Amino acid sequence: MAEKITAARPYAQAIFELAQAHGDLKRWSEMLVLAVSVAGDDTLRKLIGHPRVHKTKLAELVLEICGDKLNDAGQNFIRLVVENGRLALLPEIAALYEANRAEAEGVLKVQVTSAFPLSSEEERKIAAALKARMQREISLSSVVDKRLLGGAVIRAGDRVIDGSVRSQLAKLAQTLAR
């Protein structure tokens, strides 16, 4: 996984700088989402790297599927990643691009994983507390994972706040084992 991110980083950085220079961050996000979904199609994934499928034909196929939803720069980007054999890296490129965009816009994407669905009020309180602590706007998404038993795990950038019952029980077990 680290190798994929390392290979994807220069592409993500280049398109981020291009998008930022043209004030087109949102449009590039939309184009990348489309490209990731097209490249993730099972049929197309079988063609990526296939020795009998020429890279030019593969690029044309992707561009045809995307239609007019890609601007000229987006089309050139697709041609470039196909030519360099990096089409399979589109999910990583898109994720890194979105991280750069969020950083530039001063928004921190936060994922809250909880044992039970959070109410809107709970999500609002968590977002407000994180905004005060991190001094940034918060874009919060929540996921339910029944394996946590109770509590929540908050992932904010590279920070993880683990307040799950499962984690607390594991710590207790370690303490008692000593």
Q: What's the token pair of residue 138? A: 């918060």
What is the pTM assigned to this prediction?
A: 0.71
Domain boundaries of the chain, sorted by first residue: 2-102, 106-177
Per-residue model confidence (pLDDT) at position 166: 80
Do the strands 137-144 and 107-114 form a parallel or antiparallel pair, or are they unpaired? parallel
Per-residue model confidence (pLDDT) at position 83: 92
Residue 41 DSSP symbol: S
Per-residue model confidence (pLDDT) at position 1: 61
Fold of 2-102: Peroxidase; domain 1 (1.10.520)
Per-residue model confidence (pLDDT) at position 149: 84
Q: What's the token pair of residue 83? A: 């030519």
Q: Which amino acid is at 9?
A: R
Rounded distance, CA 118 to CA 120, Å?
A: 7
**Chain CA centroid to CA 156, Å:** 13
Per-residue model confidence (pLDDT) at position 4: 87
- Mean pLDDT by groups of 10 residues along the chain of 178 residues: 86 95 94 94 81 88 92 95 92 92 87 92 92 88 89 84 83 85
